[in-house]
Amino acid sequence: MWFLTAGWLRLDGSGWMAPGGDVSRVPTVEGVRDILAPWRLQKVRKITHRYLGRGNQYVILRTYCGQDSDDRMAAILEDEENGDECVDPENSCWRVVDDAQLLDFGNDWQRAFEILPEIVGHRGQQIHGGLSEARIANIRQQFSEFDLEDTFDQVGPIVDQIQKSTAVGNGPVFVAGEQALEDKLLEVFYLDGYGNIVRHFAIEPENMGSMKVREEIGRDVDCWSDGNLGPLYTRRGEMAAKYYPQSKQVLTWHL
């Protein structure tokens, strides 16, 4: 099954669904039973439909179900509900994806993509779709117009904007793994459309509501600038050579 989901994640955004939103063939009862069900459980399909079909809500992915983890998870959600924003769980800004039989991966949370690759497509933006060749050319043109003394103030924000363009999409994935539950925190991961980590940091649960509000009004998330870069987005990463302005001075300063 994993080679199918891995192939799906490698597709550009246009390949995620049929053109115009229409499927080429409506599945029959027999087709679902004989083709779909053997490689993807109905339970998984229901989880996807229920929890990942609401584009305006954050996803909290719980990947640890060991001793005392239920109480720790309940405490995290209680702290979030006691914040300034999302109070009513039915109308809250988050949905918990939580299944001990499917998703108990501890700190190895990215294995959840093997079960629910929609987490990537739902939360992140495909990097090639987010940055067109014209946009890349424009960024490089802006960089070429700067003198070295201008780079710290002007090129740094351009690199920052590249990262945001590839990652923000509908918002981050919040992960409640073993260490996060022990520390009573949520790990926050901004992903690109392939599931690569762009930036990540940890927050206290009660700050989720303010994060949501700031994103909705177009303001920067407080922790973004202090977050750690994913390996592909550091100055030596694959994405740096492809998208960032190529100045060692700028990249050392900003990344």
Q: Which helix (H) or strand (E) holds 41?
A: none
Residue 232 CA, chain-centre distance (Å), reads: 15
CA distance 151 to 251: 10
CB of 139 closer than 8 Å to CB of 245: yes
Query: Edge-to-edge strand order for the sheet containing 58-62?
Result: 94-98, 58-62, 173-176, 186-191, 197-203, 228-229
The mean per-residue pLDDT over the stretch 111-120 comes to: 81
User: What is the residue extent of each domain of the chain?
Assistant: 43-119+172-222, 126-167+229-255
In this predicted structure, the answer to whether residue 148 has a pLDDT above a threshold of 70 is no
Closest CA to 99 of 145, 21, 44: 44
pLDDT at 175: 92
Task: Please tell me the predicted confidence (pLDDT) of residue 201.
Answer: 92
Under the banding of pLDDT at 50, 70 and 90, the label for residue 234 is confident
pLDDT classification of 168: cutoffs 50, 70, 90: low
How crowded is residue 29: how many other Cβ atoms within 10 Å of its Cβ? 7
User: Is 80 exceeded by the pLDDT of residue 205?
Assistant: yes
The mean pLDDT value for 143-171 works out to 62
Look at residue 51 and tell me whether its pLDDT is greater than 70. no
The CATH T-level fold of domain 43-119+172-222 is Rossmann fold (3.40.50)
Least confident of 13-17, 23-27, 60-64, 238-242: 13-17
pTM of the prediction? 0.73
**Exposed, middle or buried, 234 (CB in 10 Å: 0-12/13-18/19+)?**
middle
pLDDT at 37 over 60: yes
Sequence-ordered list of residues with C-beta below 8 angstroms from that of 220, at least 6 positions apart, any chain: 214
- pLDDT beyond 50 at 85: no
Q: What is the pLDDT of residue 124?
A: 46
